[in-house]
Amino acid sequence: MGFLRWFKKLFGLTRKATPQVLQGASAATTATKSTASARQEPGVPRKKQPKVVIVGIDFGTSGTKVVLGDTTTNLHHLLTRPEGRAEGAAFLFSSVVRIDGEQVFFGSSAVDHRNFDAEFRSFKVCLACQHGLAACRRCAHGTAQSGIFEYASPTGLIRLEAEHLATWYLAHVIGRAKQELSRRWGTDFDVRPVFNVGAPIDQWNARGGSELFTRVAFFAEKLSAIASNGIRVAELLDAYNAVRSKFLALPSEEERNVFVQPETAAGLMSFVTSPRTPAGLYGIVDVGAGTTDVSFFRLADFKSDEPRRMSFYEAKTDVIGAGDLDRCLAHFATLRIQETEGMAIDDNSVELLNAARIAKESLGRTGECVVQLNSMAAALSQRDVQACLAPSIQRMVHTYVETNHQAYKKEPLVSRWAAFTVITLGGGTKCQPVYSALRAKVPSPYNHQITFSRISVPRNFDCDSTASDNFDLLAVAYGLSFPPPDFPDILSPGRVAPIDFNLPARRRLDRDELYAK
């Protein structure tokens, strides 16, 4: 693997070094730190020991999560933002860009910046639409061409690509991560970051997908020093074009410190690499804010000195997620409030969507909820909730069933599909109606025993109780904070050929074959 060679070169190690040696080399920095300082001559600056930190970035449709993996201590630290009016928990960086005049604002600062001329969300999905990796659903800012946005600025009409927005936003996130690296370790160590960015496995596996996401992540790292809140649009465009002109071809893995990994595999790092996890057939259902990702894979047994193999039979991404449930509840609540209060409400307002999200998270077995907006409230019965959420949930379940059917074609033997385990990820699977619908559905008559499971919080994850309770949302970022050499051997669906069980029958050799002349 290219990263392993880069990692060895980083520490000046030989080609025969193993991952265990790499861990020992990085751990040695703490042992030599105190002795080196004790021998330090007065007036001579102490040479800092290197520390490699793996920055795992789960670039989400509506929210992004970042975890810092310290290769010296094997601890993983959650990156959080200052409290403000921003949406969601402190570990959630809103995937939103707002433009006010000529200035650009990112994430939580964009949410807190209430005066703006243009707002862009879900541009990760639009990035896939722009390059033909997903079907465009024609968002509010879209034009006739997928992934292209237009907005009226004080100086005229501005035309932006989804790739611009995704790169700029990711550059801002990387910049925030670099600031935290400097604050946390910069005084004592020569911090050498490595960035792992997640991508949906089906888009990563599609033609041109891996190159696209790698280009976006690589350009973002180059722009991270300037992608701060308040920067001018023209300045960002000029810088982006300059980087693109300089790197017409991306550097090799040995020459860069930015990598792209499949999200679904990253989300199961602690599960797959555990010796307690048995080999067998597994499914993953990850319902995020904007997408539903489903995949099926077969996990092989451990082999000595080799990474464990994950053979993905099929993976699908549908542009439907927990955010769609929020919008359905918000719309239904506005109708109810109009009936009772006689007041018209914008069902796309941030405040109402947040109220709908809170109501959705409170859904229990009764299926009832109350959408509370300031002094107004809309009480929704179980029948109301079912009516408004059913279409979206049915699409999620359909994706689960369809992926199962397509995966079966890779291993078309009925007995091999009798039992499997489904791992649920993402905040959407914690919504009771979604989880119940998935559990109630048997995708195929060949499936007899389906076990649903969640990933437990790893002991080496440094986080507070709120993050621990929401590890479903953080599992991908946590997995991405591991060095690529620690990843299992991932075979994407395009690399897994259907297993041929139609073996030719043995026939008896004839006389001429037995007694060749």
* pLDDT higher than 80, residue 509: no
Mean pLDDT of 487-513: 75
Query: Does 306 have pLDDT greater than 50?
Result: yes
| Cα end-to-end span (Å), the chain | 51
Per residue, the 3-state secondary structure of 149-167, as one string, reads EEEEECCEEEEEEHHHHHH
pLDDT exceeds cutoff 50 at 31: no
Determine the average pLDDT of the residues in 129-149: 70
Produce one character per residue of 87-105: b if its CB has 16 or more CB atoms within 10 Å, e if not: bbbbbbbbbbbbbbebbbb
Q: What's residue 367's pLDDT?
A: 74
Q: What is the pLDDT of residue 13?
A: 40
The rounded radius of gyration (Å) of the Cα atoms in the chain is: 25
| CB-based contact 207:65 (threshold 8 Å) | no
Q: Which residue has the tokens 């509506």?
A: 62
Residue 348 pLDDT class (50, 70, 90 cuts)? low
Query: 278-320+391-495: which CATH architecture?
Result: 2-Layer Sandwich (3.30)
Mean confidence (pLDDT) of the chain: 85
Is the model's pLDDT at 218 over the cut of 80? yes
Q: Using CA atoms, how far apart are residues 203 and 262, in angstroms rounded to an integer?
A: 9
Residue 205, number of CB atoms within 10 A of its CB: 20
pLDDT at site 515: 55
Classified as helix, coil or strand, 94 is: strand
Inform me whether the pLDDT recorded for 16 exceeds 70.
no
Structure-model confidence comparison of residues 443 and 33, the more confident one: 443
- Sequence-separated contacts (24+) of 412-419 with Cβ below 8 Å: 412/498, 412/499, 412/501, 413/499, 413/501, 414/446, 416/281, 417/281, 417/444, 417/446, 417/447, 418/446, 418/447, 418/448, 418/449, 419/280, 419/281, 419/447, 419/448, 419/449, 419/450, 419/451
Residue 322 has pLDDT above 60, yes or no: yes
The backbone torsions φ and ψ at residue 56, rounded to the nearest 5 degrees and listed phi first, read -90, 120
pLDDT digits (tens, 9 = 90+) for 353-406: 888 888 888 887 677 888 888 778 888 888 888 888 999 999 999 999 999 999
Q: Residue 478: its pLDDT value, please?
A: 96
Q: What is the DSSP string of 302-314?
A: PBTTBPPEEEEEE
Report the DSSP beta bridge partners of residue 420: 450
Residue 8 has pLDDT above 80, yes or no: no
Tokens of 188: 């004592």
pLDDT at 138: 56
Among the listed residues 97, 198, 230, 283, the one whose alpha carbon sits nearest the alpha carbon of residue 480 = 198
Under CATH, domain 322-387 is a member of which superfamily? ATPase, substrate binding domain, subdomain 4 (3.90.640.10)
How sure is the predictor about 493, in pLDDT bands with cuts at 50, 70 and 90? very high
| Percent with pLDDT over 70 in the chain | 84
The conformation of residue 146, written as its DSSP 8-state character, comes to T
List, for residues 234-255, the tens digit of each pLDDT value: 999 999 999 999 999 999 988 9
- Comparing 302 with 79, the larger pLDDT belongs to 79
With 0-12 / 13-18 / 19 or more C-beta atoms within 10 angstroms meaning exposed / middle / buried, residue 412 is middle
d(CA 462, CA 458): 9
Q: Residue 82: what pLDDT?
A: 72
The pLDDT value recorded for residue 15 is 36
State yes or no: pLDDT of 224 exceeds 90: yes
412-430 pLDDT, tens digit each: 999 999 999 999 999 899 9
The first and second tokens of residue 255, run together, are: 């020459």
Alpha-carbon distance of 490 to 310, in angstroms, equals 5
- For the ranges 5-9, 99-103, 375-379, the maximum mean pLDDT occurs at 99-103
Q: Domain coordinates of the chain in residue numbers?
A: 2-30+48-81+168-259, 93-163, 278-320+391-495, 322-387
Residue 1: the pLDDT is: 47
User: What confidence score (pLDDT) does residue 12 get?
Assistant: 46
Whose CA is closest to 379, among 434, 430, 324, 339? 339
Residues 295/201, Cβ–Cβ less than 8 Å: yes
For residue 49, the number of C-alpha atoms closer than 13 Å in the C-beta half-sphere is 16
- Give the pTM: 0.84
pLDDT band with cut points at 50, 70 and 90 for residue 512 = low
Query: Which region among 14-23, 109-118, 327-336, 425-434 has the lowest average model confidence (pLDDT)?
Result: 14-23
Of 381, 293, 367, 366, which is closest to residue 332 (Cα–Cα)?
381
